Each structure stands twice: as structure tokens, then as C-alpha cells.
């Protein structure tokens, strides 16, 4: 995706920004694999939240952007739609290299 973005001229990039906002900014976000491994251990797919002991936690979009160090997220764009829980769980497992157990 980065290679494609780099090949586009300014006009094409501007058209993309109009439709999808700052999505290309996501290409440069550094993912903290240790953070994802830690979070995956506490994710409860039945309740779609994190459980730390007896505390349930459902972070807001703002809290997620802080954790991921990407403060420029635009909540009204295509990439911020509600995620399917099984899909999110599978993605977290793929990222962390963990199994469902």
C-alpha cells in the first residue's frame, strides 16, 4: 500500500483524502507487538471487552488511539467502522502469534 501511495500524484492523493481521510497515516503507525500480546490475554470475546481481574474495560476510540500512538484518527471514516468480534479476536491472535487457548 505504501508503494502505491508513493506512486500517486498530489491530485490522486487529494481525491483519496476526500473519500477516506487520513487512512494513509495508518501505514506509518508503529505497532507495539508486546502491547497487543498483553491486551490479547485479557480480551473476552463473549463480552467484547477486556477483563482485568474483576474490572471490565471497553476503551473509547480516544483511548485506543492513545494506546496505538495514532492520535489523528477520524471516527467518521471507513476504517473506524465497528469491528466484528470474531474478526478482531482472530486479528489479535494473528498479530500476537497466540492460539485461542
pLDDT tens, position by position, 47-96: 888 888 888 888 777 777 777 666 666 555 545 555 555 566 676 677 67
Q: Answer for the pair 92, 42: CB distance below 8 angstroms, yes or no.
A: no
Residue 56 belongs to what domain range? 31-96
pLDDT at 72: 61
Residue 18 lies in a domain: no
Write down the pTM of the prediction: 0.43
Which residues are CB-neighbours of 44 under 8 A, at least 6 positions away? 50, 51, 56
Residue 72 lies in a domain: yes
Domain count of the chain?
A: 1
Residue 46 lies in a domain: yes
Q: Is the pLDDT of residue 13 over 80?
A: yes
pLDDT at 30: 76
Amino acid at each position: 500500500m505504501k508503494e502505491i501511495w508513493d506512486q500517486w500524484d498530489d491530485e490522486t492523493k487529494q481525491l483519496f483524502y476526500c473519500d477516506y481521510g487520513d487512512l494513509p497515516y495508518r501505514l506509518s503507525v508503529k505497532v507495539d507487538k508486546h502491547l497487543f500480546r498483553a491486551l490479547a490475554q485479557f480480551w473476552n470475546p463473549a463480552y467484547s471487552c477486556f477483563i482485568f481481574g474483576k474490572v471490565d474495560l471497553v476503551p473509547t476510540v480516544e483511548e485506543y488511539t492513545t494506546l496505538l500512538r495514532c492520535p489523528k484518527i477520524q471516527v467518521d471514516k471507513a476504517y473506524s467502522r465497528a469491528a466484528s468480534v470474531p474478526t478482531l479476536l482472530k486479528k489479535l491472535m494473528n498479530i500476537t502469534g497466540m492460539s485461542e487457548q
